[in-house]
Structure 1
Amino acid sequence: MPLASVVSDLTRKKAEAEILLSEIQKKEKGVGNALLCTVLKSSIVLVLYNTVESTMYSVLEILHEKCQAKHFNELSDCQKEIFALMHFGKNGSKRYKENIELTISGELKFPSFESYSDGEKIFSGNLDARRINKILAVYGVRYSVDKAYGRSFLEVKTLRNKLAHGECSFSMACRNKLVTDIESMSGHIFTGLNNIVMHLNGHIRAMA
């Protein structure tokens, strides 16, 4: 999946979120729509968090594909650590000799993101700006989500988890939030994600 498709996907999801926001604004002008509007606001929170996870999955998948095309000696130190963890750590400890020989011959490749994430819990309902920064650092990517957007990433993650774990109902999660609050949150999430994708695009190009 090229990064251009990730950008395209982000653009589409942003448009979908804006449609939802527009509908809420229309409904709020009517009488007796308070409950519906609150539920819709909570639904947007889920859309935003799912967008964060799906975007990060896609960009890391592309990064892994790029690394898979390289011999072990061509990988960065951080990438070599991931390689070693996958093939010589807990997942490959019973095949040391074979894996060493396959690494030397170049037959053993950098793991796909799918196989790597099966063994290592990269993320699952815990993605906020701080976690994203830590994940990128594991790959040797120097990047920090803009602090101006960090609060929105944290709030979306927190609200999503309350909804997912049944701690809060859809009618309660965003009852004290204005449409403008949700709009601001949405804008921060999509701008923040787009910035991450653009930075990773430069990082991946530099790997060539």
Structure 2
Amino acid sequence: MLEAVKDEFNKRSEEIDTLYSHIIELDGETNERLRESSVGLISILASSLCLMLYNQVESTAFSCVESIYDSVHERRISFNRLVPGFKKKILNDCKQSYHSVESLMLSFHNNDISEVIARTSLKLEKVFSGNVDARKLREVLGYYHLAVSGPSPLNQGAELLNLKIARNSLAHGSASFEKYGRSLTVSDLDDLRNNIREYMSHVISLTECYLEAEAYLDPSNAA
């Protein structure tokens, strides 16, 4: 379960590690003149690494949400059997995503509405919209009755907020890559890389356990 999510996560981790290795190599240049000429490039690469980390966070968060809907759809779970928060999320999303009852009905393709409405309501581009941090993850996954905790007392996802701020600053142009990257040390990047990886790996594990337990089902409406 979630093998595709894990594979994509690991692939992105390898790409991040490759860039980090290049930053380490440039930062450790023994020739002082060469290192001085690389300072601007190191800063740009540091900012790029932050963007790659944020993209990994958002991609993984998307995939975990999508896997919940996929599981409900594949098991043909009736809307009536879902936990209340999930039901409310589905109805709110349908209200926001479809301009008319007719367009919503067309999306069902003559299938049983109670079994396909969850998958129909999902619009991944609207789930996070460049806004993923630990609080947002807890909020969104909480709709489905999936409780998100930190992997350890020392890692409660604080870095996700800093990463989101970095991503927005770089994406919206309020900070240049070179300027933002100057504020980061190699040690900062290493801590960020490791903590983000630990946190999001934990979120994947929590989602896997949630799906195995079918925790999206309302116990009071068990069939």
Q: Are 2:14 and 1:7 aligned?
A: no
Q: Which residue is equivalent to 2:19?
A: 20
Partner-residue secondary structure (3-state), 1:201: helix
Deviations along 1:101-151, one digit per CA (max 9) or x if unpaired, are x9xx943423327x5227x83211111111111111111111234562422
Cα 1:159/1:106, change in 2 over 3 Å: same
Instruction: Tell me how far apart the structure 2 counterparts of residues 171 and 93 of structure 1 sit (CA, whole Å).
Output: 44
Q: 1:16 to 1:90 in 2, by over 3 A?
A: closer
Aligned residues: 199
Q: Flag the 1:90–1:12 CA change in 2: closer, same or farther, 3 A.
A: closer
Distance 1:135 1:36, change over 3 A: same
Is the CA contact (8 Å cut-off) linking 2:90 and 2:118 kept in structure 1? Answer: yes
2:158 is the counterpart of 1:159:
no
Aligned pair in 2 of structure 1 residues 77, 26: CA closer, same or farther (>3 Å)?
A: same
The equivalent residue for 2:54 is: 49
Superposed, which structure 2 residues align to 1:19-168 within 5 Å?
19-30=18-29, 31=34, 32-68=37-73, 69-87=76-94, 89-90=95-96, 95=101, 106-108=112-114, 109-112=116-119, 115-117=121-123, 121-146=126-151, 148-168=155-175
Q: Which amino acid aligns with 2:193?
A: S
User: Partner of 1:126: helix, strand, or coil?
Assistant: coil
The CA distance in 1 between the partners of 2:69 and 2:172, in whole Å, is: 31
* 1:175 correspondence with 2:190: no
C-alpha deviation, 1:27, in angstroms = 0.7
Distance 1:161 1:90 in 2: 25
- Aligned-residue Cα RMSD (Å) equals 2.5
1:141-181 CA distance string (max 9 Å, x none): 11234562422111111011000010000101120211111
Q: Which amino acid aligns with 1:85?
A: N
Structure 1 residue aligned with 2:221: none
TM-score, normalised on structure 1? 0.85
TM-score (norm 2): 0.79
Alpha carbons of structure 1 residues 187 and 90: separation in structure 2 relative to 1, 3 Å: closer
Any stretches of 5+ residues in structure 2 without a counterpart? 216-223
Equivalence for 2:214? 207
Contact 1:67 1:75 in 2 (8 A): no
